[in-house]
Copies of this chain bind each other. A is one copy, B any other.
Amino acid sequence: MDQKAFQDYYPEQLSHCYGCGRLNEHGLQIKSYWDGEETCCVFTPLPHHMAIPGYVYGGLIASLIDCHSTGTAAAAMARAQQREIDSQPPLRFVTASLHVDYLRPTPLGVALEVRATILEIKGRKVVVSSTLAAQGEICARGEVVAVQLPEDFKLGE
């Protein structure tokens, strides 16, 4: 894939997220891309990302859905505003709410594919719906309400 990931456009000071920050060396460093009108992220959990033997930890699934959705929100807002994600003001979204339905146990040891679609863009809010699949079978569904970080938000240390 020669496309640049959404997360690679985030400004340096907003690239430390455990789930998607390219500068968090302990984190998951997920990468999200457009695939037509949908967005896609592929991630292979590590053996210790386990819930019970053989199956993926639900908190990791929530994390993948969360960060892929906020990345999708940034990309969708950029598209809607006909500009790049890294143009000013920065398009970095945080999560207002996260919902995950776990439909079946998610097998550990294979690549997981998260696919998202935009349900709504309204003001600074983007609502994102997603599925998480393993070997073509949908194991979880997510819905995230993402809100654009205010430009004057005061970062901590």
Q: Can you list 25 contacts pairing A with B, beta carbon distance less than 8 Å?
A: A17-B50, A17-B51, A18-B57, A19-B57, A19-B58, A21-B50, A24-B50, A25-B48, A26-B48, A27-B48, A52-B155, A53-B155, A54-B157, A57-B63, A59-B59, A59-B66, A59-B67, A62-B66, A62-B98, A94-B102, A94-B105, A96-B102, A97-B99, A99-B100, A108-B156
How far is B107's CA from A55's CA once the two chains are assembled, in angstroms?
31
Copy number of this protein in the oligomer?
2
Instruction: Summarize A's interface: helix, strand, loop or mixed.
Output: loop
User: How many residues does chain A have at the interface if contact means C-beta atoms less than 8 Å apart?
Assistant: 46
Q: Does A125 contact B (CB under 8 A)?
A: no
How far is B16's CA from A46's CA once the two chains are assembled, in angstroms?
13
Q: Does A149 contact B (CB under 8 A)?
A: yes
How far is B49's CA from A27's CA once the two chains are assembled, in angstroms?
8
The 10 closest A-B pairs by CB, nearest first: A54-B156, A59-B63, A26-B48, A18-B57, A62-B62, A53-B155, A58-B95, A99-B99, A98-B100, A97-B101
Q: Does A60 contact B (CB under 8 A)?
A: yes
* Residues of chain B contacted by A21 (CB below 8 angstroms): 50
* Residues of chain B contacted by A16 (CB below 8 angstroms): 50, 52-53
A48 touches B99 (CB 8 A): no
